[in-house]
Each structure stands twice: as structure tokens, then as C-alpha cells.
Structure 1
């Protein structure tokens, strides 16, 4: 009888797997802003929703993920909210449906020989600055800083170095003088003695100092056409992700790291865990978009992006809380 029950269970499991709904999700990088996505996968929450998720990691940055989404080679992207604003300025409808990171998480770090002093903004001139990729939010960070201090954009060199250990190595090896990046890179820089944090936007106070407000970053987004054609899939992805956000809010960094696949963890586990501790404050606890906070990325982009500045942007078309609201209702 027991053998029969085991056989039946195996058959049911096989049938469930065979009927799992495929969905392609691409992630811009394994920086910690995107952490809720692998946590949801590690906890088995997408499988729990009946989804078979194929993941593609564009380690070079979120702009590549955005290109894949617009080209139709992926269904959903884990990328930054400001990309939805950029796309609207180009008459393309890309919509965020779950907020993962409610704040920037970016830092600007200097190598051992860096001469930049934030108290004297003009000292940034001539610097080679590492960013994750051209067109990324780390790129925007630098451009906005230059614009605010009336420093010509061509007075620095911007170099794409990716994120995580590759970015830290670029600073350590002197390939760049300054580095704009996220955790875990930010924590590694200090732990390894590679350099020091000169501008820190991980806290709300730091973000307000740099941007003038809270700057939401990592979100799940898709094209409006995909959302309209696949609302049930979007809802399942949302249900799983919102559950992961709630779980992260009530668990320690050690417990969070324990859910992750090995390839997501950069460097030694102890330092990486410290990076998660340092980054915990940036994560959303419920997945909802705040209508005040999303004004900040728009203001930043308008300051140097001619297409955004020339267009009347309707922020209500860049995000939706509909799926998160339903996920919360289902959970209660």
C-alpha cells in the first residue's frame, strides 16, 4: 500500500511539473537590490504558484535586460523603475507591477589613490568612474551629480564594470578611480580595504541628500501588452514575490542568505551576509509603489535626459498596484 501511495505521489508531482506554466524572467545583475527575486525562487514560491521560471542573468546591467524585454526575448524583467519612465518617453509602454527595493542602495566609493572630495564637487573632474553599465541607474547617479554641480558630463570617463566582485576588482586594480555600485560591492570594498565610501545613498537620509527624495529602484516590470495578455501569470509572479518580501522582513540576513543559490553569493559568505544586513533597509515590505517616491526618478531623469524632459510623462502608466493589492487580499 505504501509503495502504491508513493507511486501515486510521484505521478501527481510529475503531472504538476509537466503542467507548470513556463515564464521567462531576466535579471539585470545579482546586486542586492534584486535580492527578493532569488529569495522567492529559493523558497520555492514560484513553483508553489505553478510556475516554471527560466532565469537569464544579464550580469552587465539592467539596460540589457530592458532591451531583451522590449525585443520580446523575455517575459518579465527584474530591473529598475526609472526604465519605465525612459520607455514612456520613447512611446513604449513598460509597467512595474511589484516594487522590490524602495530606495537606491547606491554608493560612490573611491579607490586608495582617489582624489575626489565630495565637499569639493569639482574634484571629480578627470576621474575614471566605474558604473554597472551605460544607461543604468548607476550611470544616472553620476550624470545627476554632475548636472547638480554644473560640471560638464565630458569632464569624467564612465566605464561599465558590472557589479559585485567584478566591480570591486576594477576599483582594486586601478582600472577606475571611483566606483558607483550597490551591495554586496559596497560592503566588499570596505571589508577588503580596497577603498572607502564617499557618498552613501543606501539610507533614506543619504538618498534625500543625493536625489532630493527616496529613489525606488528594483522592480518587476513587463510590457503592457504582455500584462494585458497574461494577467494570471503576472498575478502568480506577484503572489510569490510579495510573499518573499514579507518573509524577508521577518527573517535575519543569515536566514535570507541560506535560501540563495550558490551562484548568487559573491565573495565569502560572511562578508556577503554582512552586505545583506547593510542592505535590508532598502527593501519594500509589501511590494507597493509609493506615488510620492516615484516622482524622484522622474525629476532626476528630466535633469539630463532630453527625451524625458521633452515629453509629458504620465507616471500612472509606469506602474500598477493592482496585482499587489490582489496578492495581499488573497493572503489575508
Structure 2
């Protein structure tokens, strides 16, 4: 949906100007790209960097950079849960904020070493390169505050993709109370 939004934003019609094959399983798109006649693929890391390092492709753009801050990761809880367990929500938000503080204050090498146990199949030098790309693209925000402009961008993308029939007011779905406290 984000890719199609970016195409439209740049004057291309995804239904007439190109062919998008969405039949390929998410984890197999890089392999399919190298063995087919496709001109482009959309990849998350570490697959994008792997394609480059193997000489099978080049990263030409970042969907995140081209789209603006789309909240790819957002956490949801029932209002009743938030009301009954605010300390759990605050602790969780504080932990995410500490993670953002860490990635925004440490080098790519330090971050790569820290996260390497979670990516055992990815060599440290490649992981460092991936983190550096994320830093250069300004992937990590400074805080966990879900801004209204990002919410509206997400709604616009969902609407254009035919996945959202009507918008919902930001204040009805989003609370920044815990994020604001976590920043302090």
C-alpha cells in the first residue's frame, strides 16, 4: 500500500503503468527477484543489503524516506486495559523510548554489536551497514509520540488502497500521554 501510494504521489498509476506481482510470499521476494525478469523488488533488511552485496541489485530508494513517517509499528490496547494497567503501558512505552534513545545516541557499529544476537545469520559488518542505512534515512524517530500528521498519512494510504471506508478522528484512537511521559 505504501509503495502504491508513493507511485501515485509521483504520477504513476499502479494499475496501468506497471505490473505488481503480489503473489510471492513475503520472505521469498528477494529470491524471486534474482530468478525472474522483474525490474524492481521491495525488500526489508537484511534482504536489500544482501542483494547489493551479492551484486544482484541496488537499493534505489527508501519507501520510508519517500512516503514520510508512516507508523509501521504501533501498539494497541483496549481503553479498559489502559485504564486498569497504566503502569504496564508506561513501562512498555519507557522501554521502547530507551531503545530509541540508544539508537539515536550510539554509532552504527555499537548498535550492530548490541543487536547481533537477534540476527545470528547476518555478519556484523553487514549488520553495521544496514544500521548505517537506517540512520542515514532517519528511520528512527526521537520519541514514541504518534503524531497526528503520521496518523493522517496512514489513513490517506489506507483510503487510497481501498482498505479504509471512513477516517476516524485522531483523538479518538491515539493517546500520547504515555509517550510524552517517557520522553521526560
Is the pair's TM-score, using the shorter chain for normalization, greater than 0.5?
yes
Please tell me whether residue 298 in structure 1 is matched to residue 155 in structure 2. yes
Q: Deviations over 1:98-119 (max 9, x none)?
A: xxxxxxxxxxxxxxxxxxxxxx
Cα contact 2:108–2:132 (8 A) shared by 1: yes
Tell me, in whole angstroms, the C-alpha distance in 2 between the residues paired with 1:287 and 1:320. Answer: 11
Q: Deviations over 1:119-169 (max 9, x none)?
A: xxxxxxxxxxxxxxxxxxxxx124435656334289532034335xx5433
Tell me, in whole angstroms, the C-alpha distance in 2 between the residues paired with 1:322 and 1:171. Answer: 44
Number of the residue aligned with 2:170 = 315
Number of the residue aligned with 2:83 = 228
SS of residue paired to 2:83: helix
Structure 1, unpaired ranges of 5+: 1-139
Instruction: Tell me which protein shows more strand as a share of its residues.
Output: 1
Cα contact 2:34–2:56 (8 A) shared by 1: yes
Number of the residue aligned with 1:288 = 145
Q: CA deviation at 1:196?
A: 2.3
Q: CA deviation at 1:270?
A: 0.8
Q: CA deviation at 1:185?
A: 2.2
Q: CA deviation at 1:272?
A: 1.6
Q: CA deviation at 1:323?
A: 0.7
Cα contact 1:184–1:266 (8 A) shared by 2: no
Please tell me whether residue 200 in structure 1 is matched to residue 55 in structure 2. no
Q: CA deviation at 1:242?
A: 0.8
Tell me, in whole angstroms, the C-alpha distance in 1 between the residues paired with 2:80 and 2:55. Answer: 48
Number of the residue aligned with 1:186 = 48
Number of the residue aligned with 1:135 = none
Cα contact 1:189–1:196 (8 A) shared by 2: yes
Q: CA deviation at 1:258?
A: 1.7
Tell me, in whole angstroms, the C-alpha distance in 2 between the residues paired with 1:159 and 1:266. Answer: 26
Cα contact 1:266–1:272 (8 A) shared by 2: no
Q: Which of 74, 95, 115 in structure 2 is aligned with 1:260? A: 115
Structure 2, unpaired ranges of 5+: none
Q: Deviations over 1:51-98 (max 9, x none)?
A: xxxxxxxxxxxxxxxxxxxxxxxxxxxxxxxxxxxxxxxxxxxxxxxx
Number of the residue aligned with 1:169 = 31
Cα contact 2:30–2:47 (8 A) shared by 1: yes
Tell me, in whole angstroms, the C-alpha distance in 2 between the residues paired with 1:223 and 1:182. Answer: 30
Number of the residue aligned with 2:2 = 141
Please show how residues 73-92 of structure 1 align to structure 2 within 5 Å. none
The number of equivalent residue pairs is 179
Cα contact 2:64–2:70 (8 A) shared by 1: no
Q: Which of 51, 57, 74 in structure 2 is aligned with 1:219? A: 74
Higher alpha-carbon deviation: 219-228 or 190-199: 219-228
